[in-house]
Structures are given as C-alpha cells and as structure tokens.
Structure 1
Amino acid sequence: MTTDTVGGVWTYSCALAASLAASGAEVTLATLGPRARADQHEMLRDSRIRLIETDLALEWQDPEGRDFANARGVLTALEAQLRPDIVHLNSFREATLSWRAPTVLVAHSCVNSWALACRDSAWLSEPRWTRYTERVAAGLNSTQAWICPSQSFHDDIVEIYRPRSPGAVIWNGIAASAFPNRKRQLIFAAGRLWDRAKNIEVLAAAAPGLEWPVQIAGPADADPSASISWLGPLPHNALRRRLQHAAIFTSPALYEPFGLSVLEAAAAGCALVLSNIATFRELWSGAARFFEPGDSQALHRILAELCADDFGRTRLQRAAYEQSLSYSLARTTSAYLKLYEGLLASNRPSPQAGQIEVHA
C-alpha cells in the first residue's frame, strides 16, 4: 500500500493498514514524498505493519514526471521483492506501471478538482499540469479498480477525467470511541493556512466578538488573526485530545473529498459547523449546521448561537456522534477486503482472506 505523509492520506493509510493486519493480512506501507515524522511513526507503533520509505516524489509536487522513471525502478523492484497479492495505490500515476498483481487506486484528492473548487484554474493549461492531468487519467484507466471516499468526489473525478470504468465509493472510517462526558467552552478547527481550499481566512474573519476562544491546529507562516489561537501542527494523538475537549468544530473548507478531521471531530462529540459544500452535505446532512463558505458573518452568527444555546449544542453534538458511527473502520475494512477478494478471484482461485497480502 502506497501512502504519503503530507495530509490525511497518512491517517487513512495507517488506520486501514492496521485494521487489515488485524484481520490477518500482511501489509507493507511504502511512503512517497517526505519521510514520516517521529509522531507519525508512533501511529504504527502497535501494529504489525512494515514501513518502507522510498523518498520518491509525490505526483502533485512533480507534475512534469521527472521522478517517474526512478519511481518505476523503485516500485517495480519492491513488487519483485515482496510478491504482493494486491497493490493498493493511494495516488494516480503509479497505476500506469506494469504491475503483476491487481491494483486498487484510491483517489483522495487531485490538483484539478482542488483548483476548480478554489476557482483558480487558469494555470492548469500550462504544459506541466496538462501532463499531470494526462497521467491521472491514464492511472484511472490502467487500474483494475478505482475508489473514491465520497460520492461527491467520485462525481468530480468522473466529470474531470471521464474514466472508462465506473469506479466505486468506499467511505473512509475510523475506530469508534465512547461519547465524551465533558466538553469545554472551545471552538476548534484544523487546516493548513497556506492551503486556499481550507478557507481559514473566513474563520479568522468570523472569530472577533465570539465569547468562546477559537483554536486552529495546522501549519502556518503567521497567525491569521489576534482573535484566534494558532496551535501549529499537532501530532495525531494531541489533535484527538483537543477534539475530545472542544464543544464545537468548524470547517469553512472550499474543498474536501472526504474530511477525516470532521469525522474525528464528530466521533469526539463536537457540534459541527460546516461549509455548504457537496461532500459535507452528503456525509453530514442532519448532523451539522451549514453556512456558505464565503460568508464569515453567517459563520459568526451560527457559532455565537451555539455558544449560547446549551440544548441546541448538545443535540447537535449527539447527532454528529451518532452519524460518525456510520463511518466505522470495520465497515471500511470489510469493503476493501471484499474488493481485494473479488480482484483475486478474477485473476486466480481466491485464497482465504487471512492469506491476503497487501504491498507496494
């Protein structure tokens, strides 16, 4: 299973790989891009997962494909060494390699859909990004199965790349936890300030005048507002502890193919205040308050109402928590195992589930 350490793909990969390993699969994670930090290694500490760090370039950081020939050599050698039953790819262009094992491509994000959501797409016509688009499309048409974590993002992929096969949707999932007993008067958010899609400036504009403190976790070059406490990047365990304490979680995102941080907030019993985008509507209708992503005044108004309304806030917290149970890690793992087994059955006599190996 390939992975990267830059965003939520690492959290997804670690959770899924650990769950697959617990079911009896032998799993090797191979990183592309920057190496895992010490706190990211900690997320694999209690699992039986083997980690290989390749130092290969991420496709969106290498749109020209300058590192692709190197990737071909490294990943082909890994497959020859590990002899996997399934190759699970959490990226696009690597699906165009001549794999011996069946491949599953999971589309977590792409540059084109990001740019369209941010309404900043003129540069996509540059030759290097045209090449990137061609490789993404080729990856979707080369793999035996491609997956998206939401129907909304699946529809975006179909609209942009027109893949030959229909693809499928498997929602991301996390391990369930007990509903927390106590919450603090705290509004919490997570996102990279430099990522336009996270739309943090709208929260910065909404924060002044709120009675409760607003905290944001994520990398930033400078604090966006005196009304916000910017926590910087947090290890995953520290982020989860913050969510356990926060009464409200908000995401003003312009773009989220799934939004694992929202799911983790809901599972921690936070009341959700989310931007009115298709993904959030799909996953959280009836369990969140919504606002137009450019409307900081509407966001301020909803946050102020929830800070003052104990009953409404508690009801929303319970609704978010109950909805989060629909996105369980067990359900996600079961869906992937079923997919793997189907691919194996179409290539050769299907082994027992406990004998499946997932490598890259």
Structure 2
Amino acid sequence: MEDIHDLLDAIDSSSVGGVLATVVKVTGSAYKKEGAAMLFKPDGTQVGLLSAGCLEKDLSERLKENNKPNGEFIYDMRGEDDLSWGEGSGCNGVIHVWAEKLSGAYVADLLQLKKVLRSGQSVLMIKKQGECPGYLLIPDEGEPFGCWEGGVPDDCRVIERGVFFSKALASDVYVHRIRPKRRLFVFGAGPDARPLVAFAAGAGFSVTVSDWRPAFCTAAYFPAAEKHVTGFPGEVLEEIDVKSDDCVVIITHNFKRDQELIRVLKDKELRYLGVLGSKKRTARLLGVDQIPPGITSPAGLAIQAQGAEEIAISIVAQLIQVSHSVRLKEAACL
C-alpha cells in the first residue's frame, strides 16, 4: 500500500507545524523504497516508517534541532563499523529523505489530495528543491493545486516515481504518481470472511462487505471495512459499481447466492475474481466443464492453508501479488 494513505488519514489541523518526511531515493537495498513517508506531528505523534526503525529516532531529533526542517537528509547504511548506520540495520543502501514543514496551506492541500484520491482518481505529485522549492498535485481530472511557480516541464511527467535533476527547472525534482487505494469487494459476511476483511484492510485495500443478512453485515463484525452493503445479489450488484482495477472475492457458502453473483461478475472486467471452494464446485456454479481463465478458484495461493485465518492470508497474498504484478507491467510500458 502507498504509505501516503495512512498519513492522509492522520492529517488534520493539529498537523500544522509538523513535518512530512519522504524517501525520494534509495541506492542499493533498503527495507522501504521510494515513496515511503512519515508524518511528525508537533505534539510528538509519529505516523508511518521510513525504514525498519533504523533512522526514525535520529531524524526526529535532527528535525527538532533544526529550526528550518525543509531539506534533504542522507543516511548511508552500507558501513559495518561500530559508528556507522549500517551496523545491524539489515540494509545495505543509501537512503535520501526530503523533509517539508507543514504550513496551514500545505495541510489544506493534503486534505484536498485525500478527497481526490477517494473519488477514484490518481494524482501526480511533483516536488522540487533549490532556490524556489515547491510542490504541485495534478489530478487525472480538474485543476492542479499546490505551491508552485511556473510551468511543469515534460520530463516531470514521464516517470511514475523517482528523483532526478530537471534541467528546465534547474533543481532536483521528485515525482510520484499516487494511486487510489486498491478496492476489494467481499460478497459473504460469514465468520470466515472476518479475517479476510481485516487482513485485506491492513494490507491497504479499501474493503466493501456485502451480504443479504443484515445481522451479519455490520460494522461490529467488520470494523475494518469502509462500507457495508446489505441486500441480495441482484440488488447490490445494481448499487455497487465495480471497475476494472477492482478485486472481488465470493465467499457466501450459499450455492444459489454464489451462482447469482458469479453469473453477473464473470462478464465484467476485473483485476481479480476469486471464488472460495473447489474447482468442481465453481464449475457447477457456472454450468461448465472448465473454469474460464478470468476466475480464480479456489481463491488464494496454494500454500496448503487450513482454517479461516490461513485461508484469508493466502487470499490476501494473492491479491497483493496480482496488484503488484500489474503495476510492474504498467511501469515497464512507460
């Protein structure tokens, strides 16, 4: 998951005066990569991580000592002597961190960023250093916003994430395309769906749970879900707008309900459509001898999972695998 989503959930008016720290470049290996972010609030609250816990305390102290925290902090984790950052860190790289003081205007722009992402749009974030630092947030639709002077050179739009020197701007520039949270729709609100929803939400998915039984489909049973939709398949499928980037897991344990769901969903373009149960049962649901390639059955990686928790882990691992493989393909095409 994009770290920025957790940070955006934590940002409010109390964040003014705090610091946003972002990993913009990693040379060699590191626990976290470009895009990892951390929020240091004025009251001492910290949200997120930039490493495996190797540098956060030092960065916090350096930010307190520096009256002007805006700038770059570099941590060389490659050394193995007792005085180096590399000793026992588990990393073997150089980590570049950009720190930015959060003004009231910056916090307002970050809250606007959260709103845009929740609308389903991705946002291109551009930051620059030098004599005229600034940031710009460019949504898929609508007007850009932020603190920025001048235009945006074409070289800032050709990469998904990374830092480089822009000749046009005569400064280092960090670019990061922030995508909305991945969405997962779980049809079925039985007890074994609870760990699936909890683990998926913890992995960064925006989860919607749907079931025809109102006593089951509740925030009490699924506190990690962002939405709870009650109704029979024919009703909820008209209400829920699934898109090509979405993932769906059918886990109702009711043959008739599963059949209603799969007959509609099999014709939709989805990132992932998984059905709990054996291949034989899924084939019966579809009335075919062979399951179409767009349907995963049984849902989850083949790790010999047993019990609700292990099965949930196998499914979430597969969802992560599918999501990352797609984004790697997209990046390779740029």
Same-fold status (TM-score > 0.5) = no
Comparing both chains, which one has the higher relative contact order based on Cα–Cα distances under 8 Å and sequence gaps of 6 or more? Answer: 1
- Structure having the higher strand fraction is 2
How does the TM-score come out when normalised to structure 1?
A: 0.29
- Structure having the higher helix fraction is 1
How does the TM-score come out when normalised to structure 2?
A: 0.31
Radius of gyration: which is bigger? Answer: 2
